Structure formats: C-alpha cells, structure tokens
Structure 1
Amino acid sequence: MKVLVALLCALASAPVPGQDLQLFVIPDTPAHLEAWKTVEAAAHRAGLGVKVSALSAERGMVLVNEGKLDGAIGRTMLAASSYPQLVAVPEPIYMYAPTAYSYKKIDVSRGWKSLRGHTLCMRRGYNFTEERTAGMPRHRLDNDASLLRMLKAGGCDIAIMGRSNKEVLAMQGHDPDLLQLLPPLEEVPLYLFLHKRHAALVPRLAEALRQGR
C-alpha cells in the first residue's frame, strides 16, 4: 500500500507528457543565465522538459509559490525562506560571488563590513544582498548596466555585482579606472526551487545535477 501511495504521488508531481516545467530567472543577470544552462542540461539528463521566462524576483517567486509557475532558478535559501510552497533541489546550480566594484581603492578584506560608510548600488530584488547591506545607504536598480552608469556618474561609491560579470569586463576594456575589489564579499550557493507539487522530482533532478559535476 505504501509503495502504491508513493507511486501515485510521483505520478501526480510529474509534468504531463508533452508539457514542460515552467521556470523563471531574473532578467539581465549573468549568474542566472549560467544557472539556467546548468538546469537545462540536468533536466535533459533527467528526461524532463523545461522552459524559462524572465521575471522580476518578487513576481516570479510569488507565481511559483502560488503554483502558477513550476519553479525558480538561481535563488538562495534565504530568498526562498518566505515562500512556504517551495522545495529546494539540494544541489547547488551556481556559486554566486557578490563582488564590489568601484573607482576608489577600498579595502574589502572584511567582507560586507568593509562597505560601511560607503553608498552602494545594488540590484533590486536580491534578498541576499538586501540582508547583507541592511542599514547602509543604497540605490536599487533594475540591471547591471544601470549600476555601472550610476557608479561612473558618482551616484554611489560601490556597485555590487557578480565576480565574473560580463558587463564589467566589457566596460573595463575601455575604462581601466573601474576596479574590481577583491576578495569577493562572500560566496553563496544558488539553487533550483520547485513548487511542492513537484517534490517527487527533487531526487531525480538532484542526481542529474550531481552527474553534471
């Protein structure tokens, strides 16, 4: 009887044949694009179809929590903690290394504490960065290009973006005064989250992610 119940639960959680899992990423985010490639490859190994949409962090998480989307790509455990209908696939899909960029030589060896006393530019909807910079003066913008423009114009002292940000690399090609301040402020794993109706797919996807290591 227990085996039958488990089988029925697994069938109920699986996508209907011919229908793909509908996932979302935050737009204009290099880390999420890399995370999507990892998830897409793992889903293929697991025999699952996946499609992705670009949505704001808050809207996407709400839609997944409501069951209107099937999952979220590239979110931290902190970002998902307020959404009780989500379950994590417990294999990281990307290691995000938030890094400080500036036109000033600033010592960041103390991590997030090093940013105190400086005005920051950061991406809107990044719960993790929000928590780490609580109480600091901040400007929230929608994409990395906007962060760099505000930083260049002097609207903030430091912009926080990923360590391997392509927007920064492109800008440094003609603006060598733009500094990447190392080490990264922290390294944090990003995960794939699914609506709980797909909980039975979690071990299958976790194994597929491990196979891709």
Structure 2
Amino acid sequence: MQIMLKFILLTILLFTNSSLAQTALIFSSSSGGNFTASELVLTEAYARLNIPISIVFTPAERSLRLANKGIVDGEVFRKKGIDDVYTNLIRLPVPINTIEIAAFVKNRNIKITNWGDLRPYRVGIRRGIKVLESATAGMTVVSVSRVEQLLKMLEKDRLDVVVVSKVLANKSFESSPPNNIYMLNPPLAKVELYHYIHKKHIKLVPAISQVLKDMEQEGFINNQSK
C-alpha cells in the first residue's frame, strides 16, 4: 500500500508539471568538469521521474549566481545553508554525497590537523566554495577557479597549503600527476552536499525529495560515494 501511495503521489505531481517534464532541466555544477558521485545520483533521481536533465560545469561562484537568478534550474550540489543567502534556491532534504576536505602540501614539515593550523601559511582554495571561504576567513588566502591551478601554484612554491576536496584533487592527479605534493591526514572536514532547485520548480520538490529518500534507503547514494 505504501509503495502504491508513493506511485500515485509521483504520478499526480508529474502530471501537474507536464510542461516541466517535457523539457530538460539544466543544473549547474562546480565540480570542475568531473562527473562525480553527486552528478550520478542526481541523474538517476530525475531519470526515475522520467525528467531529462542536463548538467553544465561552471566556476563555483558563477554557478551559484546562475542558479539563484533562475538562468539555470538549480545547483547539482552545495553545502547545507546556501539558501540562507541565495534565497531563490530550495534545498532538497536528503544529502546526495559526502565529501572529505583535505590539506595538500609540498613541504612535509607542515602539519595541519585543524582549520586554525592554516593561519600562518599562504592557503589556496577554490573561488566560490563557501565552506572553504568561511573556514579560512581572515587568513592569507588565494582563491582561483580550478584545482589544477592551485596545485601548480603549490608546486612552484607560490602557496604553502592547498585545501580542496579529496575527490577533485585525485581527479586532477589522474590527468596531471603532481611532483612532491602530499595529502595530509586526517581530512580537515567531512561535508554533506545537498541538491538545490530554483523556487520556480517548487511543485517538483515533493517528488524529487521522495525519490532521493528512496535512493538513500536503497543504499544507492552511499554506494556512489564509495
């Protein structure tokens, strides 16, 4: 009976939003052109509702502005609380991914175990990544758009520490193996990421939320994050 009720709910919601379902929704992502677990989860979620989507990769700050203005239909993923500032965005209730934030160094004598340890150093982060901007506020920070840029600056001793997500750093290492760059353990933080949709699609929120809850219960989301 519960499964049937879910099916009826989704059918009604999709019928009332048929004009949306016929046109691909466009979501922006700041993952640097790398198809991460977040994009895979979102693609599957909308496919279960027979809603085509397209994902465009843009710099992180621009990605948020496009989504908040409704130029695109939402953000693939962001940390919790983005909607406090970007008020046209609605956060879906289920985290679609969890990432680890780590510090990368060239000088192995540098020891970083918490955010405060970064304060004496020149720190590189990605522009527009709000969790990093907040954590490094008041420090000597260089912000650029791409992980590859940060790692090159670290190699050339223009930075002391780079702080980025492990998954994006590893993707960068695959295409351009670093020289004498080391990841410090343990990670500085684990961050849950949520899907955000523009308020013009508010009628889709219950359907997408239910599908994401189902995927979480199935273990689909957790399996993609491994």
The normalised TM-score by structure 1 is 0.84
* Structure 1: segments with no counterpart, 5+ residues: 1-6
- Of residues 112, 115, 119 in structure 1, which corresponds to 2:118? 115
Count of residue pairs the alignment pairs up: 204
Residue type of the partner of 2:166?
R
> Matches of 2:33 and 2:83 in 1, distance apart?
18
Cα gap change, 1:14 to 1:107, in 2 (>3 Å): farther
The normalised TM-score by structure 2 is 0.80
Q: Give secondary structure in 2 for the equivalent of 1:156.
A: coil
Residue 102 of structure 2 is aligned to residue 134 of structure 1:
no
- Of residues 134, 144, 157 in structure 1, which corresponds to 2:160? 157
Q: 1:87-106 maps to which residues of 2 (within 5 A)? A: 87-105=90-108, 106=110
Q: Is the 8 A contact 1:75 1:193 kept in 2?
A: yes
Stretch moving more, 163-172 or 89-98: 163-172
Stretch moving more, 166-175 or 57-66: 166-175
Alpha-carbon distance, 1:10 to partner:
7.1
Residue type of the partner of 1:170?
E
Q: Is the 8 A contact 2:121 2:161 kept in 1?
A: yes
Alpha-carbon distance, 1:116 to partner:
1.5
Q: Give secondary structure in 2 for the equivalent of 1:16.
A: helix
- Cα-to-partner distance string for 1:18-56 (whole Å, 9 max, x where unaligned): 2011111125264x6331111001111232211111222
Stretch moving more, 33-42 or 55-64: 55-64
Query: Percent of pairs identical after alignment?
Result: 24
Q: 1:1-213 maps to which residues of 2 (within 5 A)? A: 15-26=19-30, 28=32, 30=34, 33-105=36-108, 106-109=110-113, 111-164=114-167, 165-167=169-171, 169-170=173-174, 175=179, 177-210=180-213, 211=215, 212-213=220-221
Cα gap change, 1:115 to 1:29, in 2 (>3 Å): farther
Q: Is the 8 A contact 1:144 1:167 kept in 2?
A: no
Residue type of the partner of 1:97?
E
- Cα-to-partner distance string for 1:112-143 (whole Å, 9 max, x where unaligned): 11212111011111111001000110111121
* Structure 2: segments with no counterpart, 5+ residues: 1-10, 222-226
Residue type of the partner of 1:50?
I
Cα gap change, 1:88 to 1:154, in 2 (>3 Å): same
Q: Is the 8 A contact 1:78 1:127 kept in 2?
A: no
Residue type of the partner of 1:118?
Y
Stretch moving more, 161-170 or 178-187: 161-170
Alpha-carbon distance, 1:12 to partner:
6.0
Cα gap change, 1:158 to 1:143, in 2 (>3 Å): same
> Matches of 2:49 and 2:61 in 1, distance apart?
28
Q: Give secondary structure in 2 for the equivalent of 1:160.
A: strand
Q: Give secondary structure in 1 for the equivalent of 2:148.
A: helix
Richer in helix (by share): 2
